Structure 1
Amino acid sequence: MYLEIKNLTVDLGDFILKNINFSIHEGEYVILIGPTGSGKSVLLETIIGFYSPNKGEIKLNGNIINNLHPEDRGIGIVYQDNILFPNMDVYENIAYGAKKKFSDEEIDEKIKDIAKKMKISHILHRDINTLSGGEAQRTSLARALIVEPKIILMDEPFSALDITTQGKLTSMIKHIVKDYKTTVIHITHNFNEVWNLADRVGVMKDGKVQQLASVHEVFSKPENNFVADFVGVRNIFEGKVVDADSEKIIVKLDSGSLITSSDTECTGKIKEKGIEKILIAVRPENIIFSNEKFESSAKNQLKGKIVDIKETGPTVLVSVDVGGDIFRGLLTKSSADVLKVKLNKEIYISFKSLNVTILDKYNYKKIKN
């Protein structure tokens, strides 16, 4: 592995980063998400050397770097509020960090190359104070990349920019880091950045990494209740296992509804261990609405009453009460119109057993009676 974090603990008094363990391949793009105060920035600033760990190791390319000064680690960092030198123009800002590593001729060639990729060639001799937010952030990224760091750390680099500029920079940075073969750890609250940039995504809470996996796995098979809720699963229920084999389980919710799951990564373990109670989750986009019961490949079909309707941009979030359990699903506005969605209307919901994820898959005992 290129970057290895082993048993890392950082005690800041009022906050503790607790026993962090993960590794990253060279050239990989990893994004960290989680609520404010979960430790994402502390983790980045420990990796670069601003904080010293109380225990644990940080290894880069096989070498322990715990005791190296930040400037000796070969790691760059870019923050939300780009920090540029006001007494230097764009060219001088980009060149600043490279002076210790390259000759003037090399620096000039590298600046021209990265400025072209960043689409800032036309502003190289502009005063920093005249730059837009997007231009300033591209300058910061160019300054970080020109020194050819082993890793780039980015702490919400696009969050202060407008949506259009965010989109342009997201698309641009994806191609540039591949060109430079840069390894990236990126903090964001924007799920679009996760889907568009990340090879893997890590979810943090209270100083711990709750799950680190592919984007698809985290969003479709969250490992616990917190991850599921944070990534927007919305439908999380506890139920009693009434039947289980290697291919499926049937769960009875408190309301009496029977739900079938084909989460085969867990079904066999549940039968083997005799688990009695589990948590299940269904993403809102996997719920199908209909006005009448119909035959389909969906293993789960329930009847309920619409209790809430919320428009969320181009979609409508519809909450359906099924015997006391609230299922939330997404519809397009046109589909909602066709179905004549309204409060207190009875409606059918259905979802495939493959889309019923079993949570806490490695910690069943936590929810067993």
Structure 2
Amino acid sequence: MEKRREPALSPLLLAMRSVVKTFGRSTAVDGIDLDVPERAFLTLLGPSGCGKTTVLRMIAGFETPDAGDMRLDNTPLAGVPPERRPVNTVFQSYALFPHLTVNDNVAFSLKLRGGVSDVAARVRRALDAVHMADFGDRYPHQLSGGQQQRVAVARSIIAEPRLLLLDEPLSALDRKMRGHLQIELKALQRRLGIAFVYVTHDQEEAFALSDIVVVMNRGRIAQKADPQTIYSRPADSFVADFIGNSTLVEGRIRERRGDTATIDTPLGNVTAPVADGLAAGDAAMLVIRPELLSTRGEGAATFASTVSNSVFQGERTVIQAETAGVSLRFAAEAPCPVGASISLWLDADRSFITRIAA
């Protein structure tokens, strides 16, 4: 079994240790440890209220931790105000001034600071970096949503930050535009060579952009790894359920042999790769992704099922089938009539047995 891994990208840029943030009686961030390597694209992913935006705001300096330590380039951030941190933020709304041109929007922070002699040249370089140098005389209302986003990024990088924070900057755009800008944003990050910390609740977006994905749940880090590991080896049932479309089948481990285990479930006994730390007798969850089920195949993990639903989705048909009280979803080349009896084969070697989330 391939071990779960965290990619070793570059030297450490940001380190957070045992960081806590509360609001009244509510704990938004509950003692997290987080490392951001230089030049990494790291995404904080999770449902609303999981603490990801609070983490971003603490890094930016807009919120103060109640406990813990935060260091950037090994320099403590405690007591350093937002304007003195080598960090900038791109907000969801872009926050461009409607009465200023693109050039003036990008130059605003330098002019506000004063004492910068080469403002025009730096504005030009920042706009060149985001491919917007020919739009300097336009106003925000004359730009598309994607162009506004690039201007917001240019304004954020003009001060040459060590770290760029992005708070769901694509969430207000339509699906097609989001897909286009994801490609642009990743290319921009590589071109700039600086670290990005990105907040989203959209798993597809996180996977498309990130070197590292940090899944958060109730103020804690549920898992930190590369996208492939997050998907194929979820740390617990919360991650498995939140990432992708999965069928989660609860059972109990009968025996473990090395990196695999046999789990007793309503579907029968299934032998599959298993998470570290689980042993015979433990309650666990079998994670079945739709692409691991097929009507063509053979092996021990084969289930007699009855089709309960069939939904045509253009490039595929999603079938739902019932067996032993478990609903299994998979993609098929053609619709199946409701009520039809089928045999489903599970690619057990690519499924996973994980912990039940606390």
User: TM-score of the superposition, structure 1-length normalised?
Assistant: 0.87
Larger helix percent: 1
Q: 1:320 to 1:85 in 2, by over 3 A?
A: same
Q: Percent identity, aligned pairs only?
A: 24
Secondary structure of 1:98's match?
helix
1:26 correspondence with 2:27: no
- The correspondence for 1:353, drawn from 338, 344, 348, is 348
1:120 correspondence with 2:132: yes
Greater shift, 238-247 or 185-194, is seen at 238-247
Q: How big is each residue's C-alpha offset from its partner over 1:113-135, in whole Å with a ceiling of 9 and x where there is no partner?
A: 33234232222111233332222
Quick one: which amino acid aligns to residue 20 of structure 1? I
1:187 correspondence with 2:199: yes
Q: Could you tell me which residue of structure 2 aligns to residue 171 of structure 1?
A: 183
Q: How far apart, in 2, do the equivalents of 1:162 and 1:122 lie?
A: 25
Secondary structure of 1:202's match?
strand
Q: Could you tell me which residue of structure 1 aligns to residue 310 of structure 2?
A: 309
Quick one: which amino acid aligns to residue 7 of structure 1? S
Q: How far apart, in 2, do the equivalents of 1:174 and 1:210 lie?
A: 25
Q: 1:167 to 1:173 in 2, by over 3 A?
A: same
Greater shift, 350-359 or 2-11, is seen at 350-359
Report 1:239-250 matches (<5 A): 239-246=251-258, 248-250=260-262
Secondary structure of 1:51's match?
coil
Secondary structure of 2:138's match?
coil
Q: How big is each residue's C-alpha offset from its partner over 1:90-116, in whole Å with a ceiling of 9 and x where there is no partner?
A: 0011112234488443x3333323323
Q: Could you tell me which residue of structure 1 aligns to residue 323 of structure 2?
A: 322
TM-superposed deviation, 1:311? 3.7
Q: Could you tell me which residue of structure 2 aligns to residue 48 of structure 1?
A: 60
Q: How big is each residue's C-alpha offset from its partner over 1:205-246, in whole Å with a ceiling of 9 and x where there is no partner?
A: 222221111111111111111111111242111113334322
Q: Could you tell me which residue of structure 2 aligns to residue 261 of structure 1?
A: 272
Q: 1:247 to 1:205 in 2, by over 3 A?
A: closer
Contact 1:260–1:299 (8 Å) recurs in 2: no
Report 1:44-193 matches (<5 A): 44-99=56-111, 100=113, 103-105=116-118, 107-193=119-205
Secondary structure of 2:295's match?
strand
TM-superposed deviation, 1:247? 5.0
Quick one: which amino acid aligns to residue 326 of structure 2? D
Quick one: which amino acid aligns to residue 194 of structure 1? A
Contact 2:166–2:198 (8 Å) recurs in 1: yes
Q: 1:26 to 1:38 in 2, by over 3 A?
A: same
Secondary structure of 1:21's match?
strand
1:7 correspondence with 2:18: yes
Q: How far apart, in 1, do the equivalents of 2:254 and 2:21 lie?
A: 44
Q: Could you tell me which residue of structure 1 aligns to residue 291 of structure 2?
A: 285
1:205 correspondence with 2:211: no
Quick one: which amino acid aligns to residue 344 of structure 1? G
Runs (5+) with no aligned partner, structure 1: none
Quick one: which amino acid aligns to residue 331 of structure 2? L
Greater shift, 26-35 or 6-15, is seen at 6-15
List 4+ stretches of structure 1 deviating above 4 A: none
Contact 1:299–1:352 (8 Å) recurs in 2: no
Contact 2:267–2:303 (8 Å) recurs in 1: no
Runs (5+) with no aligned partner, structure 2: 1-11
Q: Could you tell me which residue of structure 1 aligns to residue 8 of structure 2?
A: none
Q: How far apart, in 2, do the equivalents of 1:8 and 1:2 lie?
A: 17
Quick one: which amino acid aligns to residue 203 of structure 2? F
Contact 2:126–2:155 (8 Å) recurs in 1: no
Q: How far apart, in 1, do the equivalents of 2:291 and 2:317 lie?
A: 11
Q: How far apart, in 1, do the equivalents of 2:64 and 2:267 lie?
A: 53
Q: How far apart, in 2, do the equivalents of 1:215 and 1:96 lie?
A: 37
User: TM-score of the superposition, structure 2-length normalised?
Assistant: 0.89
Q: Could you tell me which residue of structure 1 aligns to residue 280 of structure 2?
A: 274
Q: Could you tell me which residue of structure 1 aligns to residue 6 of structure 2?
A: none
Secondary structure of 1:2's match?
strand
TM-superposed deviation, 1:322? 1.4
Quick one: which amino acid aligns to residue 262 of structure 2? I
Quick one: which amino acid aligns to residue 206 of structure 1? R
Secondary structure of 1:258's match?
strand
Q: How far apart, in 1, do the equivalents of 2:142 and 2:101 lie?
A: 10
Quick one: which amino acid aligns to residue 303 of structure 1? A
The count of corresponding residues between Structure 1 and Structure 2 is 345
TM-superposed deviation, 1:44? 0.5
Contact 1:260–1:356 (8 Å) recurs in 2: no
Contact 2:254–2:281 (8 Å) recurs in 1: no
Q: How far apart, in 1, do the equivalents of 2:116 and 2:288 lie?
A: 57
